[in-house]
């Protein structure tokens, strides 16, 4: 080999090596398909829970900030304990002029109380307080205590005239069962107004999504198992809210008995309809939020009936016997997790 | 040694280096990064696959939370708060461990198979 060709070979090898290194650098490691889409996320405490907003796209920083600001502003209006909130004013002065967002929420909540035939009742707050679920100083009220408190429970006594809310003496409202869902809806609006077409909001386990993931695939949402920390199933969704109510969320034990925070407005006691958890999937957070609580109270038969009447949502329910019920609409998007494959799933049609 | 040989050997060494480097990246044991944040501020970012078994405390307004790391897992061992929801959550799995009163959150830095969990 003469000197010239040897130099040439060496150079050639060097170039090849350089090219290989370049390729190695860009292809080594796990492929992240969405590397080119900007992602922003923000986590914060509001509405008595831990919230994470994740959005994708050019304007995602501003959009996420706007969504966070919206949620914290709504918390100030809807808090039961904040003396400057609109709900506090209504509870303590008997009447209050509401902002448009609050009025819309109350209107919707009252409508859902009606739709669910009182399985949802926004005037249950004094009973919830008696059980200590609002302060974490738990206590089992006597039947006499509950009977006295239930005298002042009844959503039909609350009137909303335009933006004026009237709450009779002794009655107290709390928008907790619907508020987080509606806050999610308004945060979604805020994100969309900022040009976001792909986002995921986690409001303490209330999941709301915009569009699909940036790569076009659906969002995979784990559904919390009532028996432990893991997920017993996954639902794949786009542009949907997925909201769960379960007895495991907040409860206490006394003398071997478990008392959970979802109360039956008829008895004032923890609801025992035969269900351990209900997950509702639909377009709006406020609908899913209010239904997850009320279907839990209603039990599987009445839940099925309401689903057939409305058909604008789907649900997944876990019974005390360990059976799973899912409605037809999400049949193809529902999958049991590996360790729960043995569970019996019935599809409601 | 001729200059050419030096060049060729250098090239070969770089090439081998690239191959090994690539292998290292691909075969690296899966890390399990957990973030501990308080009121939105990141306190610790720990790789559980490398952490030794230990317990440590985090304070918030004179109230203490004790966090335990054991066998590559993490949990809230004790909490000076009224509800103990964080302690009841047990070892960190899919759901973040949240101590609302003390504004403390233990969560995976990068989530795995699902995008979120409804609960």
pLDDT tens-digit map of A159-214: 999 999 999 999 999 999 999 999 999 999 999 999 999 999 999 999 999 999 99
pLDDT at A31: 42
Same domain, residue pair B41 and B23:
no
Which residue, among A212, A208, A201, A204, has the nearest Cα to A54 in the 3D structure?
A201
% of chain B residues with pLDDT over 70: 92
Contact list, A3 vs chain B (CB under 8 Å):
4
Supply the angle between the helices A176-193 and A60-78 in degrees, to the nearest 10.
Answer: 150
Contact list, B8 vs chain A (CB under 8 Å):
9-10, 13
Contact list, B14 vs chain A (CB under 8 Å):
14, 17, 21
Give chain A's domains with CATH numbers: 39-78+174-216 (no CATH), 81-171 (1.10.3980.10), 218-349 (3.10.520.10)
Whether residues B11 and A14 touch (CB distance < 8 A) is answered with yes
B35 contact A CB<8A: no
Q: What is the C-alpha to C-alpha distance for residues A325 and B66, in angstroms, rounded to an integer?
A: 40
Same domain, residue pair B25 and B70:
no
Three-state SS at A187: helix
Give every CB contact of residue B54 below 8 A, 6+ residues apart in sequence.
B68, B69
pLDDT at B40: 73
Same domain, residue pair B7 and B47:
no
B113 contact A CB<8A: yes
Q: pLDDT tens digit string along A286-330?
A: 999 999 999 999 999 999 999 999 999 999 999 999 999 999 999
Of residues A219, A220, A250, nearest to B113 (C-beta): A220
B88 contact A CB<8A: no
pLDDT at A135: 85
Same domain, residue pair B62 and B85:
yes
CATH code of the domain containing B46: 2.60.320.10
What global pTM score does this model have? 0.77
Same domain, residue pair B50 and B5:
no
Q: What is the C-alpha to C-alpha distance for residues A99 and A19, in angstroms, rounded to an integer?
A: 63
B113 vs chain A: nearest CA distance in angstroms? 8
Edge-first strand listing for the sheet containing A334-336:
A334-336, A231-237, A219-224, B116-118
Instruction: Supply B116's token pair.
Output: 């979120």
Three-state SS at A303: helix
B53-65 average pLDDT score: 90
B23 contact A CB<8A: no
Residues B36 and B51 sit within 8 Å (Cβ to Cβ): no
Same domain, residue pair B89 and B40:
yes
- Residue of chain B nearest A199, judged by CA positions: B115
Pairing of strands A345-348, A324-327: parallel
Q: What is the C-alpha to C-alpha distance for residues A6 and A45, in angstroms, rounded to an integer?
A: 68
B58-79 average pLDDT score: 91
pLDDT at B15 over 90: no
Contact list, A7 vs chain B (CB under 8 Å):
4, 7
- Residue of chain A nearest B89, judged by CA positions: A229
B12 domain residue, yes or no: yes
| Torsion sign, CA atoms A224, A227, A230, A234 | negative
B116 domain residue, yes or no: no
Same domain, residue pair B24 and B78:
no
B117 domain residue, yes or no: no
B119 domain residue, yes or no: no
What ipTM did this prediction achieve? 0.78
B14 contact A CB<8A: yes
Interface test with B, best of A138, A226, A229, A247 (most B CBs within 10 A): A229
Contact list, B12 vs chain A (CB under 8 Å):
13
Whether residues A234 and B39 touch (CB distance < 8 A) is answered with no
Q: Based on the structure, what is the number of domains in chain B?
A: 2
Tell me the count of A-B CB pairs closer than 8 A.
Answer: 111
Whether residues A50 and B22 touch (CB distance < 8 A) is answered with no
Same domain, residue pair B26 and B42:
no
B118 domain residue, yes or no: no
Same domain, residue pair B52 and B66:
yes
Contact list, B75 vs chain A (CB under 8 Å):
none
B113 domain residue, yes or no: no
Same domain, residue pair B55 and B94:
yes
Three-state SS at A177: helix
Same domain, residue pair B98 and B72:
yes
> Residue B20 belongs to what domain range?
1-30
B6 domain residue, yes or no: yes
Whether residues A9 and B8 touch (CB distance < 8 A) is answered with yes
B91 domain residue, yes or no: yes
Contact list, B20 vs chain A (CB under 8 Å):
none
Q: 10-residue block means of pLDDT along chain A (349 residues)?
A: 69 70 55 69 93 96 97 96 95 96 98 96 96 90 96 96 96 95 98 97 97 95 86 95 93 91 96 97 98 97 97 96 95 90 92
Contact list, B26 vs chain A (CB under 8 Å):
28-29
Same domain, residue pair B37 and B81:
yes
Read out DSSP for A53-74? EEEESTTHHHHHHHHHHHHHHH
């Amino acid at each position: 080999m003469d000197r010239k060709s040897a130099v040439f070979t060496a150079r050639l090898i060097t170039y090849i090596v350089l090219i290989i290194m370049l390729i190695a650098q860009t292809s080594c490691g796990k492929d992240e398909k969405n590397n080119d889409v900007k992602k922003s996320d923000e986590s914060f405490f509001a509405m008595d829970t831990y919230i994470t907003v994740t959005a994708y796209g050019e304007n995602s920083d501003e959009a996420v900030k706007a969504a966070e600001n919206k949620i914290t502003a709504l918390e100030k209006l809807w808090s039961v304990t904040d003396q400057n909130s609109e709900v506090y004013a209504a509870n303590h002065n008997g009447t209050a002029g509401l902002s448009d967002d609050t009025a819309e929420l109350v209107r919707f909540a009252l409508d859902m109380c009606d739709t669910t035939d009182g399985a949802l009742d926004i005037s249950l707050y004094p009973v919830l307080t008696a059980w200590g679920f609002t302060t974490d100083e738990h206590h089992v009220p006597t039947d006499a205590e509950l009977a006295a408190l239930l005298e002042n429970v009844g959503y039909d006594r609350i009137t909303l005239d335009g933006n004026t809310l009237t709450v009779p003496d002794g009655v107290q409202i709390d928008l907790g069962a619907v508020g987080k869902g509606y806050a999610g809806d308004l945060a979604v609006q805020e994100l969309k107004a900022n040009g976001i077409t792909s986002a995921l909001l986690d409001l303490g386990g209330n999941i709301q999504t915009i569009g699909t993931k940036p790569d076009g695939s659906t969002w995979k949402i784990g559904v919390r198992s009532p028996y432990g920390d893991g997920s017993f199933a996954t639902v794949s969704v786009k542009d949907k809210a997925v909201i769960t109510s379960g007895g495991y969320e907040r409860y206490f034990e006394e003398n071997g008995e478990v008392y959970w925070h979802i109360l039956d407005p008829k008895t004032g006691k923890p609801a025992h309809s035969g269900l351990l958890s209900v997950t509702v999937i639909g377009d709006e957070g406020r609908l899913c939020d209010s239904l997850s609580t009320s279907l839990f109270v209603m039990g599987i038969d009445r839940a099925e009936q309401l689903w057939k009447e409305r058909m604008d949502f789907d649900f997944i329910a876990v019974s005390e016997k360990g059976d799973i019920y899912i409605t037809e609409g999400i049949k193809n998007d529902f999958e049991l997790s590996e360790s729960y494959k043995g569970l019996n799933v019935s599809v409601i049609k | 040694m001729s200059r050419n040989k030096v060049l060729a050997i250098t090239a070969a060494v770089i090439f081998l280096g690239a191959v090994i480097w690539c292998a290292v990246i691909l075969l690296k044991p899966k890390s399990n990064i957990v973030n501990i944040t308080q009121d939105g501020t990141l306190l610790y970012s720990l790789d559980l696959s490398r952490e030794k078994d230990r317990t440590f405390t985090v304070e918030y307004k004179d109230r203490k939370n004790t966090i335990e790391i054991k066998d590559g897992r993490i949990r809230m061992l004790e909490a000076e708060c009224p509800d103990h929801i964080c302690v009841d959550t047990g070892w960190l799995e899919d759901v973040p461990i949240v101590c609302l009163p003390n504004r403390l959150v233990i969560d995976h830095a990068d989530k795995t198979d699902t995008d979120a969990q409804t609960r």
